[in-house]
Structure 1
């Protein structure tokens, strides 16, 4: 086919593969027939991609999608290492890998992909190595949702400083985590502003040792959580220590985390109340184990409130 086409006719928008019989894609597959978008989907027997599969079109592919295809990571095989193949794509901007057999993101997995800004590695990953994403200075979205994360190495999310002011969004939603997968050290080495989006049944509360360490690294770091249990006193540290920093957390009761109705009776609640409305004359007085009284006075308003918890 390449010989039958003129050079100007060898650039196409999209290549889509959903063949269920192919088990391996060889080197130099495309030769000099270039594509902007490669989409491999439902290739149920495809397990190997040659490291040099993209030879000849490395500078044209901007989008690579691999879905519902049992490709292995083959990290010990120089000839069919999927990450070596991906790193050859110098123009790559978006990488989407879902429901494959790629279980491990190795140390220093991504190298030299200057324009890569969005990565989805979902529904297959078990292990994340050290400095896997460190050189991706333009990365803006790193989605690692719906995985069974058994091991996350120290400095797994270390990212070099970005040339722009965009925050990096790291999504860890709806994952199953191994017993020791979440540790404060996994967030070491972050050299830019980061928002962690974390949801799931496991997270009725956020561990202060882990996520407090993350927030202390950078005053612009934030946590995105839409269903936090704000009756659980283990979460009160988020407002007592980081009330002015955490801006994306909502409670499971539908209230914003900084609503003063939340965390009543928790150690640290008084500190939060005093800090958040210290500019007015405010008096908070516990009445008994189930009631508290609030007396609030400003130059414009006088307010008294008694609340009884159930």
Structure 2
């Protein structure tokens, strides 16, 4: 009982000390601001004036005791910031980092982040119009406890070969990655090959034209499900996928695709050389085209779905013939032979 009372007193004293310290040092984070709400504490660096992160966080690092150097979130939204310099944050750490709307940000030093590499769980790069250097992937590979990454409307054009590498160890907690934005034009080989626990990969509304043979390939076989979203990519169509691009992923996959510009009059055709190996490579694989379910039931390129009836069970959408027949109606594919 005495131990419990002492523990509660120490906890109360720590909280009181923290509050007093933060109130006493309102200027500590200038020109950034510090705020607390709903059991979270956040550092916000915004505005359009000069922002010297090294100087700010050098002061924070020197004045705060170690237990108080951990924050829930860092939000950077500064339009004058051009470079995230080396060791910007010292030993200050954040559970979440959001870099948003920094319209002049061009470069992240390879050692921009140091201590927080071991702590941060979520990183978002959003609406940074000049951020184009692909070294950002090397930087992200150092965050050993990352769980989710968001790229949204930056200026990155290419997802490089082996984008995520075990620089200081495998990123076993990384489960979600999103790429969104028209500047993204291509995917290299094996960008996600080391992320054995990745659960959701969302590559949507990009300008990617082709999916290479090793775009989604992993290094090791796994029973972990991976969901891949390919929505709103205007330049992707049925011919965009390389042979084996979907059949060597080495884990069960739920693949959800939207082919833009398809309609009742201009339906999708299902490429046998791509989709049949994908569906046969793992009986747990599933394909979904929720926004473009229409299919030409007289186009012999789709006849393989009649021959391989079991593959229809792996489709998460209903095939809708544009002649208004049911897909397995004997009046379909009348001029097609094996």
So what's the TM-score if we normalise by structure 2? 0.70
Q: Superposition pairs for residues 143-292 of structure 1, below 5 Å? A: 143-161=202-220, 165-177=223-235, 181-202=240-261, 204-205=267-268, 206-226=270-290, 227-234=292-299, 235-238=302-305, 240-241=307-308, 242-243=310-311, 245-251=313-319, 261-262=326-327, 264=329, 265-267=331-333
Q: Could you list the per-position Cα deviations for residues 231-272 of structure 1 after superposition, in whole angstroms to 9, with x for gaps in the alignment?
A: 444445335414454240234689xxxx9823532238999x
Partner of 1:92: 146
Q: Counterparts of 1:184 and 1:268 in 2: how far apart (Å)?
A: 28
User: Secondary structure of 1:82's match?
Assistant: helix
Q: CA deviation at 1:167?
A: 1.4
Gaps of 5+ in 2: 1-59
Q: Could you list the per-position Cα deviations for residues 107-150 of structure 1 after superposition, in whole angstroms to 9, with x for gaps in the alignment?
A: 11111222110000111321101111111000000000111113
Partner of 2:13: none
From the two aligned structures, give the one with the greater strand fraction: 1
Distance 1:95 1:5, change over 3 A: same
1:110 aligns with 2:171: no
From the two aligned structures, give the one with the greater helix fraction: 2
Q: Counterparts of 1:233 and 1:50 in 2: how far apart (Å)?
A: 57
Tell me if the contact between 1:230 and 1:263 (Cα under 8 Å) persists in the aligned partners: no
RMSD: 2.7
Q: How many residues align?
A: 261
Distance 1:54 1:233, change over 3 A: farther
User: Secondary structure of 1:14's match?
Assistant: strand
Q: Counterparts of 1:26 and 1:191 in 2: how far apart (Å)?
A: 39
User: Secondary structure of 2:150's match?
Assistant: strand
Q: Counterparts of 2:110 and 2:275 in 1: how far apart (Å)?
A: 38
So what's the TM-score if we normalise by structure 1? 0.76
Q: Counterparts of 2:335 and 2:88 in 1: how far apart (Å)?
A: 63
- Return 168-177 or 243-252, whichever deviates more: 243-252
Provide runs of 4+ in structure 1 moved above 6 Å: 268-271
Tell me if the contact between 1:2 and 1:32 (Cα under 8 Å) persists in the aligned partners: yes
Tell me if the contact between 2:303 and 2:336 (Cα under 8 Å) persists in the aligned partners: no
Choose from 104, 118, 121 the match for 1:45: 104
